[in-house]
Amino acid sequence: MATVKLSFSPAPVHVRTARLVGVAVARRAGVREDLLDEVRLAIGEACTRAVALHRQYGLAELVYVEMSDGGPYTVRVVDRAPIEAGLGLAALGPDELAKESLSEDALTTGVGFALLAGFVEDLQVRPVDEGVGTEVRMAWPTGRG
Amino acid sequence: MELSLATRTVGEHTVLEVGGEVDVYTAPRLRERLIELIDGGARHVVVDLGRVDFLDSTGLGVLVGALKRLRSASGSFALVCDKEPLLKIFRITALDQVFPLHPTVDAAIAADTTGA
């Protein structure tokens, strides 16, 4: 079993780094090649969401990402924002998406959640065990099971 | 790969060719360019995503923002995209029902019935 941990300042520029590392570890773990685009997108969305929450709440704490392949390839993205903010996610329908009154931020949040839910079969969003924050946990099958 | 942006004009249409990665870091540059074009008088905009190899929710938010801006200015906005991974993103988010999506720039221009 291999574990890779990564923490980064909540800045958009580092999300790409997290994506690159996440896909590299997924490939080594034996995740099917045709799933890697989805892994890349999902890790990016989870990290983008965490960065947005930290910036919204003025939090300087690092965003934490942990990747492990003991069983399915599992990625945990942990933010430190108040839980009520982290769990308030909802997918938007086409009529709502096109509404003039919907802000770009709200649209991006809704679309980001739709992408996570659409691309990750094994997805959990839950409060962290200790302290304040939310964990987005995603898992994909590997060649090893 | 870094974001690349190139603009050309085809008749009444402004075609913005986007390449590379459109994400939370690069999307603000795409937003700025689209606003610049619209403020500069472009009313019929086609964004060609043919060379985009990554697009996230932030990029999609910018594209919806441009669509709304042009709609309220009686203009038109269309996307060119024929890559299945990107098309899947539009389907999953239901944005395939919001944007006119075309396989080529020519098809996007030919389908524009807004008087351009």
Instruction: pLDDT tens for chain A, 145 residues: list them.
Output: 789 999 999 999 999 999 999 999 999 999 999 999 999 999 999 999 999 999 999 999 999 999 999 889 999 999 999 876 555 456 677 788 888 888 888 888 889 989 999 999 899 999 999 899 999 999 999 986 5
- B114 pLDDT band (50/70/90 cuts)? confident
**How big is the CA angle at A43 (ends B34 and A7), to the nearest 5 degrees?**
105
* pLDDT of the residue at B115: 63
Q: Under 8 Å CB-to-CB from A21, ≥6 apart: which residues? A: A4, A6, A65, A67
Give the domain range for residue B46: 4-107
| Total tally of structural domains belonging to chain B | 1
**B116 falls within a domain:** no
SS3 B39: helix
Following DSSP, what letter does each residue of B57-106 receive, concatenated?
HHHHHHHHHHHHHHHHTT-EEEEE---HHHHHHHHHTTGGGTS-EESSHH
**Would you list the domain boundaries of chain A?**
3-140
The CATH code of domain A3-140 reads 3.30.565.10
* pLDDT of the residue at A90: 60
pLDDT tens readout for residues B25-35: 999 999 999 99
Strand-pair partners of B44: B76
Pick A97's closest partner by Cβ from B23, B56, B94: B94
| Helices A36-56 and A104-119: angle between axes, nearest 10 degrees | 140
Q: Is residue A1 classed exposed, middle or buried when 0-12, 13-18 and 19+ CB atoms within 10 A define those classes?
A: exposed
pLDDT tens readout for residues B33-80: 999 999 999 999 999 999 999 999 999 999 999 999 999 999 999 999
Q: Give the other-Cβ count within 10 Å of A114's Cβ.
A: 24
**B71 falls within a domain:** yes
- Rounded to 5 degrees, φ, ψ at B62 are -65, -40
Q: What is the ipTM of this complex?
A: 0.91
**What CATH number does residue B80 fall under?**
3.30.750.24
Q: Under 8 Å CB-to-CB from B2, ≥6 apart: which residues? A: B20, B21, B26
**B113 falls within a domain:** no
Average pLDDT of the residues in B91-105:
96
Among B1, B3, B22, B57, the residue to mutate for chain A (most A Cβ within 10 A):
B57
Average pLDDT score over chain B:
95
Pick B23's closest partner by Cβ from A16, A98, A105: A16
Q: What's the rounded Cα separation, in Å, for the pair A22 and A7?
A: 12
* pLDDT of the residue at A86: 54
**B8 falls within a domain:** yes
